[in-house]
Amino acid sequence: MANTTDPDARTPVKIHDQEALRGPGGELHQTAGGDTPVLTTSHGMPVADDQSSLKIGPRGPTLMEDVHFRDKIFHFDHERIPERVVHARGMGAHGFFEAYESLADITTADPFQEAGRRTEAFVRFSTVAGNKGSFDLARDVRGFAVKLYTGAGNWDIVGNNIPVFFIQDAIKFPDLIHAAKQEPDRGFPQAQTAHDNFWDFISLTPESMHMVMWIMSDRAIPRSFRFMEGFGVHSFRLVNADGKSTFVKFHWKPKLGMQSVVWNEAVKINGADPDFHRRDLWDAITKGDAPEWELGLQLFDESFAQAFDFDILDSTKIIPEEIVPVRRVGRLVLDRVVDNFFAETEQVAFCTQNIIPGVDFSNDPLLQGRNFSYLDTQLKRLGSPNFNEIPVNRPRCPMHHFQQDGHMRMDVRKGRANYEPNSWKEGPREDPKTGFSSLRVTEHEPDKLRMRPESFADHYSQARQFYISQTPEERTHMANALVFELSKVERPDIRLRMLSHLQNVHEDLADAVAAGLGVRDMPDPAPAAKPTRTDLPPSPALSIVLNGPNSFRGRKLGVLLTDGADADLYAALEKAVSAEGAMIEVIAPEIAGVTLSDGMLVPAAQKIDGGPSVLYDAVAILTSAEGADRLKTHPAALDFIGDAYAHRKFIAWAPDADALMTEAGVAPPKRDAGFVKLGAPSDAPAFLKTCRDLRFWAREKVIAAV
């Protein structure tokens, strides 16, 4: 079938009988028999032969006249568009936002006008530094960009999974990103900040220290997009019908709770499944387990803004939740995957300047700069000012304006008047009642100048506050991450400069990093524009571990099975997993699956070499004695168990797997309370209950943090 030309007979062979049919409405339908449509050129001309180009004789030169060939190759040559300069690698999904209550007293914003109102949504998650084809488990910030197709236009909340940013002023963004991405001479490293240029820039930019704490924490290696928070970062304004403004910070709180992986796991996931986060989102949604987040608002007024210790316009600062609580006002549900990755996930264009009546900007200099950048970058990326006409970007509410023409204009506007005012009584008019009008704000800044306000000068106090808000394990992970990254930095002076900043953050952190780097003489602390405040209390909301979900719901259990494994145990595990709302995946020596003790065949999702334990939240080793014996010499099986132990996972094991476990290095003294022996099927529910803690952190005291 691959070759439609019979070389001997030199007569073209037809694949399909073709016929053109008129549809019920008289339109032309072309079919290749049954429901199969006929292949056409992009101009709609039916194609007879898509296997060979048009030539003079079977071995002769190709003809210019081959319009089908040229149409096909021409389009292929132009398939790529520039990838996003940052956030190139992403994954999008459709869904909706539903308001819990009316917020009409605070804002006229359309999605919040009544309880239960649903607004269509599209969300794109992303990493920042890596190219489009990079791996998902980079240590990096995650983008969390939400487009709400409201009745009053598109509202984009283009946020991240970290509530602060590296820099205070947008003018430094190109420098930050140049330093973070591949070094310009060599074109590497890819998707990582563990290199000289990044840490050089950071160590010369004290305002980044708070953000550095976050990206060196487990927040930068989330287990799933479904298990991470999102933040609008800047202070925005909500405005009600009386023109009263309330400041707001936006939060997205995952219903499934937060969870991260450990670094050694991240490194291995990148090898085993570079699409780990993409696949996770796709699988959850297509299996009907639609992830949800609650929208939380931190609302505060001008007098709080004046009284707060830090400037609410400074994006390197948070307002701790213990000071201004997060009010949950609705839920975001992602329940539909995209039909086409390019058409939707690639072509979606988020713009911070897309706001709606009832929402307004603050003077945050980072936000003001972004309001230029996003529009500009979409023109470069999508090639036309008409990018709003692409289906994923198109507002769902009616649009009436006098903008016209440009590349790839889709709308065919009727009428003679394309200007306003006009005497043709044609076209839309403005409406002071429902239309957007910028909040009237009195600015008290008399001078035109380039400078940072004094109120932005404290660079270390909240960095310290973040550090002391973490559990001991999380603090160790931060120190280890800094040691890992700085150990990839070739210039010792850059490493030392970072240590001088870390001393201003916290002595314990500086000491741990110095020890990890083998630095014997600690440099002096960096000169600080303002001394670090040590009176800020810990904010428990900042820890991932302290805010665990207490549920294994939405997580995945990996079960290593062999032929002859106890069928009752497996059935009990399956049942317990489904009762918990979790997923189960079978890993076996062969992909065809295993025959259990009762003779039943269970297909495998992964052959053991392709399904390491890093892909699962907890594991069960259910082998027969013969199966255990066979796997004792299988490196992937030994790694499966050894890694699950090292990554602090909960491990269930059948008595017959004992010898295999020992061979993998987890003989009895190591079988801590994170191990659950499945002596009988009735032990399975108890194991799933244990898994609700997600990790057995106590193990971190026994083996070095990974």
Residue 350 among known ligand-binding residues: no
The least CB distance from residue 598 to ligand HDE, in Å, is 49
CB atoms within 10 A of CB 29: 13
From CA 236, how far away is CA 234, in angstroms rounded? 6
Q: Judged by CB, which is closer to ligand HDE: 130, or 627? A: 130
Residue 219 among known ligand-binding residues: no
From CA 239, how far away is CA 250, in angstroms rounded? 15
From CA 157, how far away is CA 143, in angstroms rounded? 11
Q: Judged by CB, which is closer to ligand HDE: 122, or 460? A: 122
Rg of the chain (C-alpha set): 29
Q: Judged by CB, which is closer to ligand HDE: 236, or 460? A: 236
The least CB distance from residue 457 to ligand HDE, in Å, is 19
Question: Own/partner pairs for 84-87, CB < 8 Å, 24+ apart?
Answer: 84/126, 84/132, 84/377, 84/381, 85/177, 85/377, 86/128, 86/129, 86/177, 87/126, 87/127, 87/128, 87/143, 87/145
The least CB distance from residue 508 to ligand HDE, in Å, is 29
- Helix residue ranges, H only, 163-228: 173-180, 196-203, 209-215
Rounded to 5 degrees, φ, ψ at 591 are -65, -25
Residue 381 among known ligand-binding residues: yes
Instruction: Tell how strand 618-622 and strand 651-653 pair up.
Output: parallel
Residues annotated as catalytic are: 87, 160
Q: Which residues bind to ligand HDE, rule: CB under 6 A?
A: 84-87, 90, 124, 126, 143, 145, 158-160, 165, 170, 173, 233, 315, 348, 350, 366, 369-370, 373-374, 377
Closest residue to ligand HDE, based on beta-carbon distance: 143
The least CB distance from residue 214 to ligand HDE, in Å, is 12
Q: Judged by CB, which is closer to ligand HDE: 372, or 424? A: 372
Residue 173 among known ligand-binding residues: yes
Rounded to 5 degrees, φ, ψ at 541 are -65, -15
Q: Judged by CB, which is closer to ligand HDE: 143, or 674? A: 143
The least CB distance from residue 381 to ligand HDE, in Å, is 7
Distances (CA, A) of 291 to 255, 288, 294, 312, 693: 8, 9, 10, 31, 20
What sign for the dihedral angle of Cα 29, 35, 38, 44? Answer: positive
Rounded to 5 degrees, φ, ψ at 443 are -90, 140
Closest CA to 294 of 238, 248, 256: 256
Q: Judged by CB, which is closer to ligand HDE: 135, or 236? A: 236
- Judge whether 453 and 308 are in contact, CB under 8 Å: no
From CA 675, how far away is CA 410, in angstroms rounded? 61
The least CB distance from residue 88 to ligand HDE, in Å, is 8
Q: Judged by CB, which is closer to ligand HDE: 87, or 649? A: 87
From CA 10, how far away is CA 23, in angstroms rounded? 36
The least CB distance from residue 312 to ligand HDE, in Å, is 15
Entry field: residues in the chain: 706
From CA 257, how far away is CA 551, in angstroms rounded? 9
Rounded to 5 degrees, φ, ψ at 607 are -75, 145
Distances (CA, A) of 702 to 217, 361, 638, 648: 21, 50, 20, 11
Please name the amino acid found at residue 425.
K
What would the two tokens of residue 614 be? Answer: 């890093």
The least CB distance from residue 84 to ligand HDE, in Å, is 4
Kindly give, in sequence order, each residue whose CB lies less than 8 Å from that of residue 157, ignoring residues fewer than 6 positions away: 145, 146, 148, 232, 250
What would the two tokens of residue 693 be? Answer: 């803690």
Instruction: Tell how strand 618-622 and strand 594-595 pair up.
Output: unpaired
The least CB distance from residue 86 to ligand HDE, in Å, is 5
Kindly give, in sequence order, each residue whose CB lies less than 8 Å from that of residue 598, ignoring residues fewer than 6 positions away: 567, 568
The least CB distance from residue 354 to ligand HDE, in Å, is 12
DSSP secondary-structure letter at 394? S
Q: Judged by CB, which is closer to ligand HDE: 126, or 461? A: 126
The least CB distance from residue 165 to ligand HDE, in Å, is 4
DSSP secondary-structure letter at 420? S
Q: Judged by CB, which is closer to ligand HDE: 263, or 456? A: 456
Q: Judged by CB, which is closer to ligand HDE: 164, or 324? A: 164
- Judge whether 387 and 395 are in contact, CB under 8 Å: no
Rounded to 5 degrees, φ, ψ at 213 are -60, -40
Q: Judged by CB, which is closer to ligand HDE: 348, or 604? A: 348
What would the two tokens of residue 134 be? Answer: 């990079």
Annotated binding site: 84, 124, 173, 370, 374, 381
Annotated binding site for heme: 84, 124, 173, 370, 374, 381
